[in-house]
Every structure is written in C-alpha cells, then in structure tokens.
Structure 1
Amino acid sequence: MSHPAALLAVAVALAALLAPGAGVPVGRQGSRHKLLLVSFDGFRWNYDQDVDTPNLDAMALDGVKARYMTPPFVTMTSPCHFTLVTGKYIENHGVVHNMFYNTSSKLKLPYHATLGVQRWWDNGSVPIWITAQRQVTLRAGSFFFPGGNVTYQGTAVTLSRKEGILHNYKDEAEWRANVDTVMRWFTQDGLDLVTLYFGEPDSTGHKFGPESPQRKAMVQQVDRTVGYLRDSIRRSGLERSLNLIITSDHGMTTVHKKAGDLVEFHKFPNFTFKDIEFELLDYGPNGMLLPKEGQLEKVYEVLKDAHPKLHVYKKEDFPKSFHYANHPRITPLLMYSDPGYVIHGRVNVQFNNGEHGFDNTDLDMKTIFRAVGPSFQRGLEVEPFESVHVYELLCKLLRIVPEANDGDPRALLPMLTPEDEGGPSTPSTTTHSGSAPLAGGCPALMTGLLVAAVLLAKVA
C-alpha cells in the first residue's frame, strides 16, 4: 500500500471507530432491557388516596411515580391507548372514537367490534409493536391492548390476545392467569415488548360511580394484581432485565343523573333531527353531527347556545389546544359537555353513574403513571406530564428509532438513571419543534479526521 493511501486508511479507520454507534446496528447500542406496559383502564390519578394500596406504594418507592398524567382529548379508551403506543395526538393518529362509524353508510359499530376493524386503526400511524419488530427484529406482544389485534401495513404483532365481547373484566383469577401468560411470553417465547390491558377499574367506575365502595374494592384488586405481577417478575428471573410501566388511559367522574338541567337534544327548542344526515350522540359527553346539505349554519345557530353545559363548535373553530378536530373523520359539527353531564340524543339511554370523555384539563380525567426497573430511578416523584410523551420513553427504553410523533424525547428523561438518560440512544423523528440529539459520539471530530485524511493524502 502507498504512503498516502496508508494515511488515508488510518484516518478513515479512526473516524469509523469514533462514529456514533460504530459497528452497531440501529437501536442496538448498549444493553437493552425487556419492557412491559400495563394499562388499568379508567384508573383515576387519585384512586390510591382513599384506598390502601401497598403494592402501588412500594412500586413508587422502588421506582418513579408521576403526580398525575394528562391524557389526550377526547378522553376515551381506544383513542387514549393509541396515543400511548404512537406518541401522537388523536387528530394525528386518527382513532378518534371508541366506535367505528361511517357517515356515508351510517354504519356504527360498538367498542368491542371496532377492536377488530383494521381500517379503523391502520390509517397511517404505526404503533410501537410494529416499529420494534421492523427495526431490530424485536418480538412484541399485545394482551387485550386496544389496537393490538389488527395488522398495520401488512404486519401483525408477534403474539396477541383479543378480549371477547362478553369478557368478564372483574375475574381476579383470570387476571393472574393473564399475568402468567405474559411472563411465559417473555421467558419462553422470547418477547421483548408486551402491552397488557385490564378493563378495570373503568367498568366498575361506570356502573357504580368513582366514589362508590365497589370502585374502592376494585382498586384494591388492582393493587393485589400489581403485587402478583411484581412477584411474578421476580420469580421469572426478570427483575434486573425488565422495565415495568403501569398507567391508564383516562380518569372518571360522577354523572349528574338527576340534575334538573340534563343535556337532552330531543328537548332543544327549534332543533330537529330532520336536519341531520348523520349523528353520533349518546356516548358520554361527546357528540358529532353531519347536517344535511345546506343546513350547517341553521343547525349550528340553533345548537351553539342551546344549553349552558354544552359546547358546540364548527370543526374549524374547535379549540386547537385539544389537538382533536383536524382529521377527516371528524364531522362538521362536534361538541362536548361539562364534567358530570352526558349528551342525550333522541331519547335518554345513558344511565352510567360514572363517565369519562370530558375535557382533559379537568382533574377527574387525569390518570396514573408508575415505573420501576433497571432503567428507572428509585423513589422519584415527577411533575405531571401529557401521555403523548410516553411513546418516546418507550422507544428509548427499547433503543429503537421512534416514528414521527408529537411527544418530546426530553420530557421524561429525568425518570431514567444517569446511564440510561445519557447513554447510547437513537435518532428521533419527532414532529414537534424541538429536535432530539443524534446518537452519542463526536461528529465534529469524525468530520475533522476525514478532512485531515484527505489533506494528508494530497500532500504526502
């Protein structure tokens, strides 16, 4: 080899050694731990304050606790869960409701049926299961988690379970069996990421109300399950290699069922359903209307001041802070009611004692966040944050490159140990204004070495 060529080769080799992630495939820098994300549906942020919850308390002492977490609007199960696994506000991921609906065919499907409608979920956004499987051939699982039982761009999650329409949410023995299954997924099937969903305390909160003794008893059942889960992690030998996050989708508030000022469309003066082409009402405190051609202004003028507890907007005027209305699935008129008030359409058919779906700034809609594991600090309580940031945290824990999203990759870094917070990472492709740093290393030094090599080759 000639002298100039040798100099160039040495410089290039040094630059390659100093390059970020040199010789390491994308997402494989440093050690990677397994990750279990658990959601207990409808667990309001303060449900642990009027009930003894020793296992959740122990988890907070051993790891990280948020004062509370703010879900996206609209505070419904499927939209909020999809925000957790995509990092997108609801108007950007498109799962805008628990129900599939089509304004042309007038088809509306209930929650459980919608869980299996691929085109409702697979509409441009790719959840973390698919990203993990594609980037570094990780293996992912979804156990009852909303959105985990359909394919995305032709790809399905490695392992999944879907709840049945008559599923009994309250069966504690089944909860433990489900935990056992997830542990086998990790230890025997080699999964790296699992999302696990429980339908409580949401179901009990709906039926009996968030202040009821039944809800308090269900929170104790949740806490026992958290204890069983952590014990299972220890028994499976995963305590030092698995990060556990326990959270929820939204909170719950008491419905004013006997109020003298119920929100009842069928009693509004000058309003008639004859002017409406498509309606999605009678689903908690939210509603959508597609007026017939030429009737938009008339219907809006009738409804905008029809009830002091009802807030009706044209789609383009809906509050931008909600990050909700700017999606093709949203109808020209949409609305929500004040906390405690649900929307009744043609007849009164809503009889829940507890409800969600309200303004996400209302304290009763806030939910929980706990995290423990080798990547998390111990005994740390953090200030409230939006659930849209959780996705970036999940990607960092798995050391994969996030899809474009609305979260801030820096928002939840203080939760992590110094090694995980500042250690090897991957580039972010977030859509927010702030940009994440590239994965470790010294790009300026690398560039300088390459330039020096070229100059040495020229002068030698």
Structure 2
Amino acid sequence: KITFRTHLVQTSQDIKMWLDLYLGMAVFLSVECKPLNKGTHNKLLVISFDGFRWDYDQDVDTPHMDKLVEDGVKAKYITPPAITMTSPSHFTTITGRWIEDHGVVHNMMFNSTTHQKVGHKATLKRSEWWDNGALPLWITAQNQGLKTGSFFFPGGGANYSGQCVNRALVEETGQQDDNETEWRQNIDTVLSWFTEEDFDFVTLYYGEPDNVGHAKGPDHPDRKTIIKQIDRTIGYLREAIQRDGLTDNLNVIITSDHGMTTVKKIPLVDEIILSKYLNFFNLVYFELLDYGGFGMITPKKGKEQHVYDALMKAPNLTVYKKEDMPENFHLSKNDRMQPIIVIADLGFNLNSVGDHGFHMDEMDMKTIFRAFGPDFKKSYLSEPFDSVHIYPLMCKLLQIDPAPNNGSLSVTEGMLVQNDTSRELLLESILVSKCMTVNQMSLGVLLFLMLVISVMFVN
C-alpha cells in the first residue's frame, strides 16, 4: 500500500493534477454527448400571384416556370376553399384552417347589423376582421423563436392576440400592381431580410394576374402578357437567390388563391338580375352581392322563406340556407355567414369581364403550386390537393409545431427530400449508448480517485 501511494500520490500537487484531469475529462465528455439537434431548418419564402389559374402557363412561353418543373415540385393543380376570393383563400393558406374556422368570409369587412362595408384594401389593416382565434403561421413561428415578415400578403398587417408580424408591409389603395421593376425590387427587399437580418419565414404577394383577369378577362392577350412578366420575375428570383448565396438554405413555394373565368354577358346569355325575382326593399335587410359569383343575403325578420323561395326561381343560381350548406364547403359554422348564400353557375354574375367567387370544384377556380429548394425533390409531379394542406407543409419545412389546423402533412410530404430516418436513429442510439458508457466510466474514475485520496490520508 505504501509503495502504491508513493508512486501515485506523492504530494498535494498530484491530487490537484488528478482532479483537474478528471474535471477536464468530464467537460470534454459532456460536450461530446449533446443530443442531436432536431431544430435546424432552412429558410422559407412563400410567393402568391393572385388569380393565377392552374392552366395560365400552358398557352404562353414560360421557360422559367418550365425549368421549375425540372428543378422542383409541381402540383397538377390545387383547390381553394369554398369562397374563392383573395382574403378568405389566402388566410386558409397561412392558417391551415377552413373558412368557417378562421372567420375571414369575404374580401370586405362588413357588419350586417350596422350595414357597414369596408373595401378590400382598407380591410387589410383591420385586426378586428382578421383576428378570430386562428393564428397565422407568422405568429406561430415567432412564438417558437423564428423571425418572420410579410410583404403585401393578405392578413400580414393585422395583430393577432396582441401580436404583430415582425415586419409587415401592407398594400395601399391605388398602389400599382403590374410594375415589373418594382416586382424585382420587392424580391431584392425580401431576400435582404434573409441575408442581412436573418429572417426565417417571409411571404410575398403580387396582385397579378388577378387585376388583368378582372379588367380584360382570362382569354385576353393582356393576360398572356402578364404571365410572361411573371415568368421573367421567377427567372429573376432564381438568379437573385444564387447571387445572394441562398441556394442551399432557402426553400420557395409559389402559389395562388384562386383561378379566374370569363363572365358571360348579354346578348350571349341572360344575366342574373336578382331584382327580377326579389323585392329587395320589402324583403332584404342586408346583402353582399355584385362581388363575383358569390353572395350573401340577410332577409328581414320573418321573410327568410320568402327570400329563399324567390331566389330559387332565378336561373343559373344555386341558393343555400346557411344551415343546409354542404359539409365539404366548411362554411356553415361561422357566425359571419349570412342566412342565405347564393353561388352563380360558372361565368354568371353582374360585374366585370373576368371574375372568381364561383364553386371551388369548377376547374376555372383551380390554381397553381410550385416549389423548389434544398428540401424539395426535383422533377416531382404532385397529384391535386386542397390549399389547406400547404400549412402543415410549411410548418414541416420550418421545423415548428403547428397550431391547430385542418390540413394534413401526409398529403404533401411525398414532395420532400426525406431524411434518412434509419440512419438518424442509428446515430442517436450510438450517441445514447456512448453517453451511458461515458457516464459509467466517469463514475468509475471518480470512485478510483476517491479511493486513492482516502488511501493517502489513511497512510
């Protein structure tokens, strides 16, 4: 024992040396045994081109969109929610909720009691219209430590449970929507948010080709012109991503809110003139009509059946009582839906040359989905799906826990480059085993040192 002590512990400096060595090993081993980091994610940019019908690129030369098919994902088409309008559809995308759950039931903010109606762009900043309990992805991501921004995207300018988007630019009334130079500047701006300010998630909105569709109709040459401009803009986007060094860590989703159809006008057809069938002064208390193919009516008290029966006589019009709406519309549960809902047959309404707001199952209401980036497969053609399923896909890309939603990741996960799960599990099990072994070794070393020190003091 004396010899053993003489060789191992001769002075108090030797004790300190052994203790320092043990502490050093403990620090080293604790660094080596950190668990796998599952929170890493690439950045995400979501771009919406309003009113981009699913087939708009099929009669126009679009080399940049064609290249996206090779370099990323394309869905055959996607189906918007039942109210095929800008605000309701965009809010379904950003919340993953059906319209009856998120409550944005129209482009206009309205109050059927006071007869208040607020125009679409004036509504974009009105939190009382947007904040109905469904959290948009910006806020959900921010609550989990991410940094988010919105550039003109509907809903981005409101507050939700007192929280605002980290950075939100809101489109103003009268703002020009078709300036190609400004489109490119907007791309440069949002990319700088990623590169210079480390944003994680940004949405970008363009008002075309919706404006041209309304003004000229989807079959007008000007619609083809604006699609070519969109294609050039997508080409510029891809060049700018490469220029800014974002190719390997930025995913991009390009989508829209609804399609567009040509409105049938006289003398080709008889227009739907509801006043021919309905005495508005005597029967109607409040109405939201002349906004495409979708409308809502609040009859005067006791006149509900009179209004319903009268509208049922109108041609090219489907009439629903709120409580009788089909379940797959996902509309009837929301208090903002008025007692009588009317949906015109495709192409029938009273305003503009081209319009939307028609039944979501009409092919002219279908829209686009494209995606590319490090987490997306290449040359992948997806089957059609509902736009509500984009939300869980975005959450997956950002590696965050989704808020309650009506979407399903199983619909879209096939378009993702899947991680080698078995390899990850193997690596994790190796690390866990290593850490357990290290902990056992550390305990052994500690016991050995205690034994040595006790022997020294005993002797």
Counterpart selection for 2:324 from 317, 325, 334:
317
How far apart in 1 are the matches of 2:385 and 2:190? 28
**Alpha-carbon shift at residue 424 of structure 1 (Å):** 8.4
Amino acid at match of 1:410: S
Q: Does the CA-based 8 Å contact 2:274-2:311 persist in structure 1?
A: no
- Counterpart of 2:197 in 1: which secondary structure? coil
**Alpha-carbon shift at residue 60 of structure 1 (Å):** 1.3
- State the structure with more CA Rg: 2
How far apart in 2 are the matches of 1:422 and 1:339? 50
Q: What whole-Å deviation, never above 9, does each CA across 1:73-110 have from its counterpart, x for those lacking one?
A: 11000111001111111111111100000011110011
Matched, 1:150 2:158: yes
How far apart in 2 are the matches of 1:340 and 1:420? 49
Q: What whole-Å deviation, never above 9, does each CA across 1:244-297 have from its counterpart, x for those lacking one?
A: 1111011000000224321111222x5333211111111111111111111111
How far apart in 1 are the matches of 2:280 and 2:209? 38
How far apart in 2 are the matches of 1:237 and 1:335? 50
- Which residue matches 2:10? none
**Alpha-carbon shift at residue 168 of structure 1 (Å):** 0.5
- Which residue matches 1:118? 127
Q: How many residues align?
A: 398
How far apart in 2 are the matches of 1:178 and 1:297? 51
How far apart in 2 are the matches of 1:170 and 1:421? 45
How far apart in 2 are the matches of 1:403 and 1:67? 28
Q: Does the CA-based 8 Å contact 1:29-1:424 persist in structure 2?
A: no
> RMSD in angstroms over aligned alpha carbons?
2.2
Q: What whole-Å deviation, never above 9, does each CA across 1:209-255 have from its counterpart, x for those lacking one?
A: 10110000000000000000111111000000000111101100000
Listed as ranges, the gaps of 5+ residues in structure 1 are 1-16, 345-349, 426-439, 450-460
Cα distance change on mapping 1:424 and 1:233 into 2, 3 Å: farther
Amino acid at match of 1:201: P
Q: Does the CA-based 8 Å contact 1:30-1:424 persist in structure 2?
A: no
Aligned pairs for 1:218-237 within 5 A: 218-237=226-245
- Counterpart of 1:294 in 2: which secondary structure? coil
Cα distance change on mapping 1:420 and 1:184 into 2, 3 Å: farther
Q: Does the CA-based 8 Å contact 1:413-1:421 persist in structure 2?
A: no
- Which residue matches 1:380? 380
How far apart in 1 are the matches of 2:178 and 2:409? 36
Could you list the runs of 4 or more consecutive aligned residues of structure 1 that deviate by over 4 angstroms after TM superposition? 420-425
- Which residue matches 2:358? 358
How far apart in 1 are the matches of 2:428 and 2:217? 54
Counterpart selection for 2:346 from 331, 335, 339:
339
Cα distance change on mapping 1:50 and 1:328 into 2, 3 Å: same
Counterpart selection for 1:84 from 86, 93, 109:
93
How far apart in 1 are the matches of 2:157 and 2:180? 23
How far apart in 2 are the matches of 1:93 and 1:423? 40
Q: What whole-Å deviation, never above 9, does each CA across 1:298-323 have from its counterpart, x for those lacking one?
A: 2112212x223111111000111111
Aligned pairs for 1:258-407 within 5 A: 258=266, 259-268=268-277, 271-304=279-312, 306-342=313-349, 344=350, 350=351, 352-407=352-407
Amino acid at match of 1:357: G
- Counterpart of 2:296 in 1: which secondary structure? strand
Identity of aligned residues (%): 50
Cα distance change on mapping 1:204 and 1:422 into 2, 3 Å: farther
- Which residue matches 2:457? none
**Alpha-carbon shift at residue 423 of structure 1 (Å):** 9.4
TM-score, normalised with respect to structure 2: 0.83
Amino acid at match of 1:126: L
Q: Does the CA-based 8 Å contact 1:271-1:303 persist in structure 2?
A: no
**Alpha-carbon shift at residue 23 of structure 1 (Å):** 5.1
Which has the larger share of helix? 2
How far apart in 2 are the matches of 1:421 and 1:387? 28
Q: What whole-Å deviation, never above 9, does each CA across 1:337-389 have from its counterpart, x for those lacking one?
A: 000001x4xxxxx2x11111111111111111110000000111111111110
How far apart in 2 are the matches of 1:230 and 1:401? 29
Cα distance change on mapping 1:385 and 1:266 into 2, 3 Å: same
Cα distance change on mapping 1:355 and 1:131 into 2, 3 Å: same
Amino acid at match of 1:66: A
Counterpart selection for 2:183 from 172, 175, 190:
175
Counterpart selection for 1:39 from 48, 68, 80:
48
Amino acid at match of 1:124: G
Cα distance change on mapping 1:303 and 1:192 into 2, 3 Å: same
Matched, 1:191 2:199: yes
TM-score, normalised with respect to structure 1: 0.83
- Counterpart of 1:263 in 2: which secondary structure? coil
Q: Does the CA-based 8 Å contact 2:272-2:315 persist in structure 1?
A: no
Cα distance change on mapping 1:277 and 1:128 into 2, 3 Å: same
**Alpha-carbon shift at residue 67 of structure 1 (Å):** 0.7
Q: What whole-Å deviation, never above 9, does each CA across 1:168-218 have from its counterpart, x for those lacking one?
A: 111111101111101111111110000000000010111111011000000
Amino acid at match of 1:242: L
Q: Does the CA-based 8 Å contact 1:180-1:232 persist in structure 2?
A: yes
- Counterpart of 2:282 in 1: which secondary structure? helix
Amino acid at match of 1:159: R
How far apart in 2 are the matches of 1:423 and 1:76? 45
Q: Does the CA-based 8 Å contact 2:321-2:341 persist in structure 1?
A: yes
- Counterpart of 1:418 in 2: which secondary structure? coil
